[in-house]
Structure 1
């Protein structure tokens, strides 16, 4: 058992494991850990737990998330970082660095050989099934020549300390290694929350590594430009590490694109912008190999770019890491790595590996089948994330089933010794507890050699009993401190020497999918706000009816309820009688509750908030931290409201008030995040178009049909209230509410910011700044539609709009006709903008169907 120390935190730390990061081989606490815990003692229990709360708060404030699939708590789970870092001395880390560089070089040579001469197979160093039986081997990539010094540009290794006290390689990651951004965020957070310890412990900085990473991407350009165009290709916002994609794009200044943003033309890769096509030189790929090119690989992929491999063959693009690199993310190679090291480098492996047996060899297969209950079994590829079998946890039936799988396809399986990896102290609610840890280290190509991040991403088991360490299974993380004995000289030059012109500098450089998301972000936030305000007005009236014991079939309430259906589009609703089932008017509260809370009902407030959230999250790399905080407040407010099984009308009104306030705050912050010509213009166009269309629908529902005097007066008041125009009306007209004045103010006023005419005039000015609008003197189709709408409004007269042709008429035909025509023109405007700038429907199909296993 470890010896006791004078440090109180260490006195309370007990471990049943014989392999803990705190202790050396003599069971004494390592000196640098003592130094750290001395600082923890100065904080005391409440102080250290307070720092943990600060970390949790900061990560939440910064919107650091990790997507957990099928999680009932939602996709975007907050990232967890423990206040106690993992600490290692530089003297030990230097040996690990050399081992990682050696392994990266070996895997780089294996990757070249697998798609090149295949000497390893020809000379019998590795069996051919290890390569050809792996789903990551893509014959389409054979023979491709690359322009970079190293084929494998980014490599990461999962490391854990074995029983012998050395760090062992657990897994290799080469296809699209993740975690680098999370490691950077962890360091940024801990250095802010533990600044005195960070400085006192002489922690090695990460800045030079990311400087080299940036330079590596620049040097990867096939044309060797000083300022190449670089993009990060992401699968999208539902990917588990999407936060990292957005974070790295924001940190490095690269456009974040999806497959639909890119297109192949004339042997080059281009990014679709609002202006046209912009040639791309380097792609930092976060899309899996098989999904990268639907023309040659998985035809059903919507994540990649058709023709990408052809551009690579022509040496007109560099893809980091190259497509096909997943073949060396292969535990089947582990048993043969010592021989590979001898073959290529005539060296022994520096870093030890887990004892592994590839079942494609008869002797090894027999050993595995006889000892299955004591081994860990994996497939040689990651066909299924859950395909890791811990023999000691399997039932007899499960063991038998696994044996049959191995016997049927032995080449697909590797068995490994189950080792109790080291633990490290983790702060819990009660004390420090030992938890299993695995460290992901990162290596990047640097010219003709490799560089290693001084630290990495530490993942921690969710509890002391869990063997597997996985973020998808609820694990947490730690910062990784590589420490020195002497103070670190801080790099005073914060700027990188070279910068590529990759930042989004204007509308011409805006990826089309990003532009579309900005446009729809504006539309959805406008729709949410307008509908929430109107629903609030209706719910207030329902509360008054309830309090006064008035009948719910009162005419004015019926008019309002029908307007809700028209405004939200939740038909049949209150607007018409359903063919079957009860009418909504018979129980208006239930129908309103559905319109507000049913997230599966298209047009409901809940559904609209969901769409607003999705559009926002897809472009989160553009927004400020203040916007994220307000966005999170909106999510928390709505989730708490949805959890209330039977909310009262007063509770609903309270939530609507809070939602509206937060939406207004969110909209106010948007202009602080990006400039108009960097994409904010698209948001404004979407917002104004949506507000205009909803204003038309609301006015048509409430004003087109004549009502008796008192009912009409009340409806006019409701319209002004929901439009936030009642005070303006009173101040402007100083009279009782009259229809003509309301039409003048809400529809025809050229200077009132909420009027329909003002909105359409501003829309007209904004769309004139779009790239295609500036090409020549002729108007585009969308400009013609908006110009026609504005002209109709300027020619309209309120007196004629409000008049009836005869005393017996109940419909104000001039008003209804105008609003109908305006609605049609704005719908055509929307269609024209979408067709001009957001067309992502190009699809190419393969001549022959190929099979790619999941």
Structure 2
């Protein structure tokens, strides 16, 4: 039997789908795939040939491949408490036929136009409030109402560029609005990522369906943003403002920025100067900004966008942004204050507002709702009669929990703060469950509308979300079938010819720092992994005997990461697995991931395979207690890290690439100095000394080169010649310093005489004039000249690192909370 046959059979035996106690209604549900008589619905009949025959084994394989593909692409959702979680995508898409979509998209476009008109009125003339169409208390009491821009001079006729609407079908199959998402609508990037994965892993199903492609919608989005520039500029600058890598939807923001081709910035990357918003230059305010920002696509909630006029404790916004908006020097979309439209108290008043503003009947109804500022008695009565039939929410949408009397007391104390919303039995759809069978889950569809041209256009697609028994989100790709194969994708005409203006998006100091540290951590991880492999090899060759050469190499690791375990295997495991251990390979990988997350919009999707390989290798090591697994996992992780070289090799040679290279080669110099410290003593017998030197060459990826060049086992002098002075060896100090100098010379702020360049010139001269025979000479079982050279080189490299930070990364003094500023002013007056 096929999966869908089994699912249909299960539905026929149990038409009532059990729900959790939190949302049980006891009502039958509309099924998105199976009709009441047990046949496929029209949208799925078009796909019958490709779907009906799919077996459980095939679905299990596809499900596993989807999880692996998402992991390889680094797709995550950041939970507030648990951190980054893997993104989940169900193999079954949500399929909507053209007739269903045609009706739905008209209602969505109307709703977007209505919400836009309400926001334009609320922040300017406020006729809806004055005439009582919408109670004023329902607006001004909402935390999303931004008073500083509630004036006609700051208003805009189109404050909403994009809206998102969460929808569900009731028991009769009618669409109901569950919530409006207009503050900073998220999910469009996830929707595109879902489509990319499903189309790749279910090609037969995807190719058989005549569905709307999503790419043209992103082209329209890009065009709409460019057309929204606040000033007349043939090449307007657009940025995507993100709260940062700890945001719940950080991946979505970065994907969107990457897809649109606009820089992803954080509040600290921008500055308001002379009334305009600029990308902050290095060494601000001593240097003058040159890259003005015309449009900000914000993913930061309004209240956090300006610490001067809004939340004084915000570290996410840009001081002075509200004033720049009021002066119309920058366009922020969606407009500041849009969050007030996510107010459930508006739901009962939208039909009247639609008639007043648009002269039309509201097409898409919401779940019945009652604002307690008017209908408190109705809400309390329904709550007492059937507590499961109604949800009480605050104005910000948070569900109120507690007993009936407790909730009633809250409403009685402050009725205007609460809204009662009737529960509806949402539609259900099959998802691939842990039992290797299709299971029914309730479904919510997030649809998007974009103001493009002179009207709102709805994305023919979207993001569907189901919930499993654990309450974790599980998403579905949304397929909208075309009415005809010749129908234009998204109903959009072919792109009109445009004047091509090449643009090189600048990178803010914060992004340059992320690139630099990504390079450093990548090299640190690579070098640590090579040293772990070399050390494990020495201990493995000794087998049950003590390995003096292994101890020497392990001591180098201890210098880098400290000592945790006396047992070599336990120590090497810790270095591979313990992310909290500074200096370990695991710590370096975690640092590299964090740095790259901050500039995800600049990177190829292949970048994230590095971490996918590493995660699988570490999982294998955790599951195995055998010593050989240590080297195997280290080598697999190393393979992933080395693949990053291929990714960066294909990057355009802009400032970001040069910073990655600078970080890589500075760290290579530091790690090489630590590695060469193993050669500073000669108090070993010849066999141990040979093994140590071979281990050093192996960890420095120069063993084969040394054998070919010096025809025999390594002497200290030849090894130092190869690893310090040989300008043709990519692993040498001389080569690395020259590459570091070249990368810094390519930076716009470099002049040839900046402090980092001067320090590197001095270091290059020291290396060039080094007498290798002298530093290789032993005295009393030690090599004091080599020890002194390595120590001084590491100190010089540390000075170079500090100088790079001061020259290229400092974007001005750190931001302070308004309370701190007030204290400083008070101290200055006294």
1:199, CA displacement in angstroms? 5.6
1:282, CA displacement in angstroms? 0.7
- The equivalent residue for 2:86 is 77
Contact 1:255-1:503 within 8 A present in 2 as well: no
Contact 1:295-1:844 within 8 A present in 2 as well: no
2:509 aligned to which of 491, 509, 512: 512
- The equivalent residue for 2:764 is 790
User: d(CA) in 2 for partners of 1:52 and 1:561?
Assistant: 42
1:830 aligned to which of 786, 795, 801: 801
3-state DSSP of counterpart to 1:772: coil
Matched residues, number: 795
1:721, CA displacement in angstroms? 2.7
User: d(CA) in 2 for partners of 1:500 and 1:213?
Assistant: 18
Contact 2:160-2:451 within 8 A present in 1 as well: yes
1:670, CA displacement in angstroms? 2.3
Distance change >3 Å, CA 56–CA 811, structure 1 → 2? closer
User: d(CA) in 1 for partners of 2:35 and 2:691?
Assistant: 81
User: d(CA) in 1 for partners of 2:466 and 2:448?
Assistant: 18
After superposition, the C-alpha distances for 1:111-170 in whole angstroms (9 at most, x for unaligned) are: 123222322222222333211221111222222645854112111111111234321111
After superposition, the C-alpha distances for 1:332-389 in whole angstroms (9 at most, x for unaligned) are: 1112212222332343211111111222234335435534613443433447xxx425
3-state DSSP of counterpart to 1:434: strand
Task: Please tell me whether residue 628 in structure 1 is matched to residue 608 in structure 2.
Answer: yes
- The equivalent residue for 2:777 is 803
1:172, CA displacement in angstroms? 0.7
- The equivalent residue for 1:481 is 479
- The equivalent residue for 2:683 is 707
1:63, CA displacement in angstroms? 3.6
3-state DSSP of counterpart to 2:654: helix
Task: Please tell me whether residue 842 in structure 1 is matched to residue 819 in structure 2.
Answer: no
Distance change >3 Å, CA 601–CA 735, structure 1 → 2? closer
User: d(CA) in 2 for partners of 1:50 and 1:563?
Assistant: 45
3-state DSSP of counterpart to 2:544: helix
1:742 aligned to which of 697, 713, 719: 719
Distance change >3 Å, CA 7–CA 221, structure 1 → 2? same
Contact 1:204-1:483 within 8 A present in 2 as well: yes
- The equivalent residue for 1:108 is 116
Task: Please tell me whether residue 613 in structure 1 is matched to residue 593 in structure 2.
Answer: yes
Contact 1:293-1:309 within 8 A present in 2 as well: yes
1:501, CA displacement in angstroms? 5.4
1:746, CA displacement in angstroms? 1.5
After superposition, the C-alpha distances for 1:381-401 in whole angstroms (9 at most, x for unaligned) are: 447xxx425xxxx7xx64444
Distance change >3 Å, CA 42–CA 124, structure 1 → 2? same
Distance change >3 Å, CA 660–CA 322, structure 1 → 2? same
What is the correspondence of 1:677-716 to structure 2 with a 5 Å cutoff?
A: 677=654, 679-699=656-676, 701-710=677-686, 711-716=688-693
Distance change >3 Å, CA 494–CA 720, structure 1 → 2? farther
1:547, CA displacement in angstroms? 1.2
3-state DSSP of counterpart to 2:444: strand
2:384 aligned to which of 370, 383, 388: 370
Task: Please tell me whether residue 35 in structure 1 is matched to residue 12 in structure 2.
Answer: no
Task: Please tell me whether residue 668 in structure 1 is matched to residue 646 in structure 2.
Answer: yes
- The equivalent residue for 2:519 is 522
Distance change >3 Å, CA 164–CA 31, structure 1 → 2? closer
Q: TM-score, normalised by structure 2?
A: 0.88
- The equivalent residue for 2:176 is 168
Instruction: Please give the root-mean-square deviation of Cα atoms over the aligned residues, in Å.
Output: 3.2
Distance change >3 Å, CA 98–CA 680, structure 1 → 2? same
- The equivalent residue for 1:426 is 431
Contact 1:101-1:452 within 8 A present in 2 as well: yes
1:10, CA displacement in angstroms? 4.8
1:46, CA displacement in angstroms? 5.2
2:147 aligned to which of 129, 139, 142: 139
Contact 1:786-1:829 within 8 A present in 2 as well: yes
- The equivalent residue for 2:448 is 442
1:287 aligned to which of 287, 300, 317: 300
1:567, CA displacement in angstroms? 2.7
1:414, CA displacement in angstroms? 1.2
1:314, CA displacement in angstroms? 1.4
Q: TM-score, normalised by structure 1?
A: 0.86
Distance change >3 Å, CA 810–CA 202, structure 1 → 2? closer
Distance change >3 Å, CA 533–CA 849, structure 1 → 2? closer
3-state DSSP of counterpart to 2:430: strand
3-state DSSP of counterpart to 2:328: coil
Distance change >3 Å, CA 542–CA 48, structure 1 → 2? closer
Distance change >3 Å, CA 533–CA 218, structure 1 → 2? same
After superposition, the C-alpha distances for 1:176-227 in whole angstroms (9 at most, x for unaligned) are: 0111122223334444455555565432344443333222111110113343
1:173, CA displacement in angstroms? 0.7
3-state DSSP of counterpart to 2:47: helix
User: d(CA) in 2 for partners of 1:788 and 1:426?
Assistant: 64
What is the correspondence of 1:329-408 to structure 2 with a 5 Å cutoff?
A: 329-361=342-374, 362-371=376-385, 373-382=387-396, 387-389=398-400, 398-408=403-413
Distance change >3 Å, CA 272–CA 749, structure 1 → 2? same
- The equivalent residue for 1:576 is none
1:238, CA displacement in angstroms? 2.5
Gaps of 5+ in 2: 17-27, 822-830
1:546, CA displacement in angstroms? 5.4
Contact 1:147-1:220 within 8 A present in 2 as well: no
Distance change >3 Å, CA 52–CA 501, structure 1 → 2? farther
Which one is further off, 197-206 or 334-343?
197-206
Contact 1:222-1:316 within 8 A present in 2 as well: yes
User: d(CA) in 1 for partners of 2:232 and 2:660?
Assistant: 36
